[in-house]
Structure 1
Amino acid sequence: MSATTPAGRLYGVGLGPGDPSLMTVRAVEVITGADVVAYHSARHGRSIARSIAARHLREDHIEERLIYPVTVEITDHPGGYQGAMDEFYEEASARLAAHLDAGRSVAILAAGDPLFYGSYMHMHKRLAHLYPTEVIPGVTSVSAASARLGTPLCEAEEVLTVLPGTLPEEELTARLASTDAAVVMKLGRTFPKVRSALERSGRLDEARYVERATMEGERTGALADVDPESVPYFSVAVLPSRVDAAPAPREQGEVVVVGTGPAGPLWLTPETRGALAAADDLVGYTTYLERVPHRPGQERHGSDNKVEAERAEFALDLARRGRRVAVVSGGDPGVFAMATAVLEAAAQDAYAEVPVRVLPGVTAANAAAARAGAPLGHDYATVSLSDRLKPWEVIAERLRAAARADLVLALYNPGSRSRTWQVGKARELLLEFRAPDTPVVLARDVGGEGERVRIVRLAELDPADVDMRTILLVGSSQTRTVRRGTGEEIVWTPRRYPED
């Protein structure tokens, strides 16, 4: 660019999903006024972007066809596929820069939206900081697919997840299980994997298929009915809004026992999120139900924390009537929680045919340990100090056995308003086997607003600091603490145990 020639202007022009009538007025203005029109194409030379904008091209337009060196085929480029593409983008951006340096305006055509899974963004990253640039948004294939299906995509507080079908199947499965609505892009060769992920996540019956939305050859339908051999790249899988969706017909209900972790949504696994979203009914202790977002059409059945057996039978009765029930527990449902109560009830002949699944969750001991460092890094035992369901003599003997074995201890249910002496008794007992300076992690409300995690010494453990929202982690003879440069004290138990 000479000193007297002002730089040209770069435009990233979104053309919409395919129907030329869905181009924006601004997109048409820019194309018709540009000096240079650039577009990407495969080696065959045909460009979908050019075909969409064709009626607006002038005879005197300078056209720059940016031909990909590879698409899905193998390349002998020394840098492999990525090396070949990086070299292409550099060469293409240099060609366009020459026009911009000469003062010409350059419109790069992009199907859909320029910055949404589009090729334009590779030019944008290389040129936009060097030249005046404007990006003209376009209607995406996501919006086009939703419109052609005539079904709401997401509503109210639903979450929409957009996924590339090129992700690994396990990742697709996890994300599909945990979201409300979803669109999976880039099908084609990835279709069998995407279909499998939808099936594994329990979402296949909901999934819809849209091919070439708004373009010639458009096709829509149930994704489960689509022949994998017939799927082109320009197609998407859609999981539409669940609000007001008719429940899928099923002959039998089921009970899924899930754990919410020690606190809120950050501790939920994708599988648990999916089970909670798919349930017709939520059953659980009211405090735990409050951690789960409300969903239209879903019924909640809250109860007191002391009626586990009744709650389990109620859930199984709902499932026997064809309902899909999620029994909501705190932490991990299999650790001093609802899974045992549900399975015990399900062992009765009356519920023998009701399917029951247990999904793991983050238990309080693991959450507290992570906050403090790694106190559970070696062998450890988990004991509940509650004597509501077993005699204190049994608890005391188990504490002695674990202490003699030099195991780290995770002590659940250490105290409550009605149980105030157990922590003191446990401390006295453990001091018979452990040094007074043994580190103890005192963790309250981990993950919650009132979280407080401290490291104290066993001899200094004060029962008054313990309530029903607290868990204790008592170190072994090998457990170590250190105060780091930040002033934070951390605790860990080495994985190696000294030889005799």
Structure 2
Amino acid sequence: MSEQQTAGTAGETTPAGRLYGVGLGPGDPSLMTVRAVEVIREADVVAYHSARHGRSIARSIAARHLRPEHIEEKLVYPVTTETTDHPGGYRGAMEEFYAEAAARLAAHLDAGRTVAVLAEGDPMFYGSYMHMHKRLADRYDTEVIPGVTSVSAAAARLGTPLAEGEEVLTILPGTLPEEELTARLAATDAAVVMKLGRTFPTVRRAVTEAGRLPEARYVERATMDGERTAPLADVDEQTVPYFSVAVLPSRVASPPPAPEHGSVVVIGTGPAGPLWLTPEARGELAAAQDLVGYTTYLDRVPHRPGQQRHPSDNKVESERAEFALDLARRGRRVAVVSSGDPGVFAMATAVLEVAATEPYADVPVRVVPGVTAANAAASRVGAPLGHDYAVISLSDRLKPWEVIAQRLAAAASADLALALYNPGSRSRTWQVGKARELLLEHRAPDTPVVLARDVGGPTERVRTVPLADLNPADVDMRTIILVGSSQTQHTNNTVWTPRRYPD
């Protein structure tokens, strides 16, 4: 940082003082670092935030290291949780306060004094010091002293790892909207939710909705007087202070309780890798005890300790569904993995067909949606499916070609855009050519046709050709075909179908 010079007497200059952000740790004074103690003792000015009642937790942690000659700057918040009549509302009142507090500290720094701003936990982790740092660090020599966070203290008090191996730890403020909290809690392996207090009812509802309540723990005032730990489900919301956290610990170290009854969830993983996975799907994959699916699709799912994987071939959907349901009957939490959306030419129907038979009538089955190939392919070129469209599979393995041809003709004569799934394979080579002939009876030869292969994958290739030039040799099982309507436009490498249809 630069060193600012200020005017002294008789033309002399005084070197600007140094700013310190001092992390004090979670509350126990013995958990302060040696460096934090050194800086506090040597500082000219010790600053700390407090509510209007005047008591400062930060000061109480550092109290034994304060000297009578210290200049103490008490930075008193104008509001905490109450309302304000400031014209800018709560945000305006706080912005004005931070600006005034920074100016007070700058006056000390300009006078050559060393200023230590105390911060519970770590100064750069949800701390008030950050607001001083952003306003002063570009003008004064600054050092930040890290501290033990409340997250680490909570894990230590619970005696359980937060995250292990390749698990993802997510730290969330309880002030987020409930739906956002729910989505993030459902998607992650381990989590800590901070800033409870008044947000506790919302946080507990989000944890419950995410299916994580049985494993959730509560830690209050970790390492401080009045420390408390408990299952989150058992905590009275009227007793929760701001200095408390909700913890969803490592699933590897502390596996979620086994379900009382088995269940099957059919999960859509999208057309390719993790970028296409919804938070709900990610959470269900993490919570499952058994993963069942086509080998290629299972390989997209990260390995987790304790999970059993059951891969199988692509053409045994009914057998795969029966196997998953049998596992669930034995009390297992089973996820059937399906690419794209499981309800679009995929595993949802296969599982539900078997689940409707007598042996499995009592097994709960849920379906978690995913991004389907048609929508993924459409997004790559614009909006070819922006108006009415039909989705048809060209595979005649489970229905006769005569039915497919009839549906193609009906959809084409209705001037619907089309998404054609399963267009070809090694054993099915003529269907695309026959479909082109049928479509040309109703569509102009220059109708835009999008050929999208491996969307989202490493060999992705998307291009647009006129319907008359659709070549079956360019199509395989990993390709989806989007055929425009009479209104579909192809301009500047973009394909789109207008929202309005002409009278």
CA distance in 2, matches of 1:374, 1:72: 46
Give, as a single letter, the amino acid of the residue that structure 2 aligns with 1:365.
Answer: A
> Does residue 494 in structure 1 map to residue 498 in structure 2?
yes
**Which of 439, 442, 445 matches 2:448?**
439
Matched with 1:300 is: 309
- SS of the residue aligned with 1:156? coil
CA distance in 2, matches of 1:397, 1:414: 16
| Contact in 2 for aligned 1:250/1:322 (Cα 8 Å) | yes
Aligned residue runs from structure 1 range 117-132, under 5 A = 117-132=126-141
Aligned residue runs from structure 1 range 278-289, under 5 A = 278-289=287-298
CA shift in 2, pair 1:449/1:246, >3 Å: closer
**Which of 6, 21, 37 matches 1:28?**
37
CA distance in 2, matches of 1:125, 1:377: 46
Kindly provide the CA deviation profile for residues 305-359 of structure 1, in whole angstroms up to 9, marking residues without a partner as x. 0000000000000001100000000100000000000000000011000000001
Matched with 1:175 is: 184
- SS of the residue aligned with 1:443? strand
Kindly provide the CA deviation profile for residues 141-161 of structure 1, in whole angstroms up to 9, marking residues without a partner as x. 000000000001100000000
User: Displacement of 1:247 after TM fit?
Assistant: 4.5
| Contact in 1 for aligned 2:215/2:256 (Cα 8 Å) | no
- SS of the residue aligned with 1:21? helix
TM-score (norm 1): 0.98
User: Displacement of 1:32 after TM fit?
Assistant: 0.3
TM-score (norm 2): 0.98
CA distance in 2, matches of 1:302, 1:244: 26
Kindly provide the CA deviation profile for residues 357-392 of structure 1, in whole angstroms up to 9, marking residues without a partner as x. 001000000000001100000000000000111111
Aligned residue runs from structure 1 range 53-452, under 5 A = 53-452=62-461
CA distance in 2, matches of 1:127, 1:48: 23
| Contact in 2 for aligned 1:244/1:297 (Cα 8 Å) | no
Give, as a single letter, the amino acid of the residue that structure 2 aligns with 1:490.
Answer: T
- SS of the residue aligned with 1:332? coil
RMSD between superposed Cα atoms in Å: 0.7
CA shift in 2, pair 1:247/1:204, >3 Å: closer
CA distance in 2, matches of 1:355, 1:285: 22
Matched with 1:486 is: none
- Report % sequence identity: 83
| Contact in 2 for aligned 1:244/1:296 (Cα 8 Å) | no
User: Displacement of 1:26 after TM fit?
Assistant: 0.4
CA distance in 1, matches of 2:427, 2:476: 10
User: Displacement of 1:481 after TM fit?
Assistant: 1.2
| Contact in 1 for aligned 2:278/2:370 (Cα 8 Å) | yes
Structure 1: runs of 5+ lacking an equivalent: 484-488
User: Displacement of 1:246 after TM fit?
Assistant: 4.2
Give, as a single letter, the amino acid of the residue that structure 2 aligns with 1:496.
Answer: R
CA distance in 1, matches of 2:475, 2:438: 17
Matched with 1:40 is: 49
- SS of the residue aligned with 2:53? coil
Structure 2: runs of 5+ lacking an equivalent: 1-5
